Amino acid sequence: MFESYTTVVGTVVTTPHRRRTPGGDEVLSFRVASTARRRDQASGEWVDGSKLYLTVTCWGRLAVAVSASLDKGDPVLVYGDIRSDEYVTREGAQRSGIEMRAVGVGPDLARCAVRRVDRRSEPASAETVPDPVATSPESLPVTVGSVPEPVPDRAA
């Protein structure tokens, strides 16, 4: 089977939903919208073009990290295996959608700022790393989202 890996630049449009499978695996899913933008030649204004909506699914450690880092409205880059998902609704209607099994997810730094915290050089043990889901949002080391004020220079 051929796998189609691609990168999509977009915005998280649903609240990420994290769950555990009966087998104990962590899984998180959310929807992303990607809108093409182009400059209208006549007006010089930027206008929206076509839209792509897809469901992104993250597994394991990626699911835990994305759950702690991203929320609805955040600009993202998602990378993974993309495929068409065809199904029949309970009412018997044929439907299809695009699904991505993500292998990488991150904030789109062209549209947001991230506050980074330096990590220790040696690997942390499980006892020293807080559970990102049990930790309050204020104590998380990474903040993603729009920043109303200029981002401070890291050298300062």
Query: Tokens 């506050």 sit at which residue?
Result: 115
* Contacting residues for 18 by C-beta, under 8 A, at least 6 apart: 26, 27, 28, 63, 64, 67, 133
DSSP string, the chain: ----EEEEEEEE-S--EEEE-TTS-EEEEEEEEEEEEEE-TTT--EEEEEEEEEEEEEEHHHHHHHHHH--TT-EEEEEEEEEEEEEE-TT--EEEEEEEEEEEEEE-TTT-EE---PPPSSPPPTTTSPPTTTS-GGG-S--EE--SSPPPPTT-
- Specify the pLDDT at position 141: 46
The structural domains of the chain, ordered by start, are 5-108 (2.40.50.140)
Q: 64: which residues sit within 8 A by CB, 6+ positions away? A: 18, 26, 28, 132, 133
* Mean pLDDT calculated for residue range 139-152: 46
Q: Is 18 exposed, middle or buried (0-12, 13-18, 19+ CB in 10 A)?
A: middle
pLDDT at 45: 93
Q: Which of 4-8, 17-21, 130-134, 139-143 has the lowest mean pLDDT?
A: 139-143
**What's the pTM?**
0.70
> What whole-number distance in Å separates Cα of residue 32 and Cα of residue 72?
9
**What confidence tier does 143 reach under pLDDT thresholds 50, 70, 90?**
very low
Q: Under a CB-based contact definition with an 8 Å cutoff, are residues 132 and 64 in contact?
A: yes
Please indicate whether residue 146 or residue 47 has the higher confidence score (pLDDT).
Answer: 47
Average pLDDT score over the chain = 82
Q: Tell whether the model's pLDDT for residue 116 goes beyond 80.
A: no
